[in-house]
Structure 1
């Protein structure tokens, strides 16, 4: 699950990342970030988890992330990004967020257990909130319906999806199908069997078997994939 959500983290190559909470989500994200070339310090209160990941992350430390003095000693303020991935304990998650905010970390992500947790986190200074279970549920629902082949939604309701070309785009250029005007989404690219990915231009022609990369508000992408025009 964490690998999917790593795609949301817009980190520059080589950035240092602090991951607090090495449960299933946190450890998966941490490992993916290491694989992408980032220096990662994992922090957890559970010594067994820390030992498990000690050889797989840049650093792994057993510590109480709710204590500002402890985090200062670990050098947490020097990290470009922090991910609070504490599961099952909203109080510890929010206290940790408070500490990171006090330390002045510029980019803080919080894994929220539910909507209320996420709203509190944003009010307390989180720059981004992810809800893995809810997001995964929506992703699977899209895949089951067959309308979206792949799907990434960001925390502002904007999404990027890979879809089968809807009927109204077949054998037309993007100018002719007027996708943006009729559906409020943008076709970013076209993938045709046995050919390279093609960045879309107004002159790009779409065939029935093509796959489209589409960006825009999530609901509008869903309507476009189903062939339903947006009501004005």
Structure 2
């Protein structure tokens, strides 16, 4: 039986902010239909990793491959057209536009022409948003804006979704809703990378885990094995 090829592969990437070296030889693989938790404390380099994948932060060396193709230097819109969707940690919704407008702006078919996510399907999957469709996004709570950011990403019908700190600072009821949505997405066969500080949020959502500290990988394996690894969890995670 042949070894499956990763959908996304980071191979010894190094990234900088100015003269500051942020990511050090970052290497991991993400496989089709699986969910990987990229875990680490605040400032570990999780968001930089997500931005490097999307081409927002340029890498100095190493390779990023998507579906086996080298994508170093590709612009963010090129990565989006390749079927990768990013839900950024700061949401970046359009505050003066309505919920409906925010969703329509992002609508496009997927790479293969697939259009599973329509407005009707979004409002079915995100019932909290349905009664707000005519509300300006800037009038929503932080948790509601997070849900809108996720919904907007899905309107692009991505095959690979990058979720950057989806649960950070949100009310427990919104965190539960985000967990429910991620489990629903997993059932559709989409591939997901979740950058998180909270390992417990990722249990039952992710199969695989990578833990980073100061821009370097300190653990790579399954999330179940990570849960039993007290040395790593106590030293590098907010438990």
TM-score range, shorter chain: 0.3 to 0.5
Larger Rg: 1
Alignment TM-score, normalising by the size of structure 1: 0.35
Alignment TM-score, normalising by the size of structure 2: 0.34
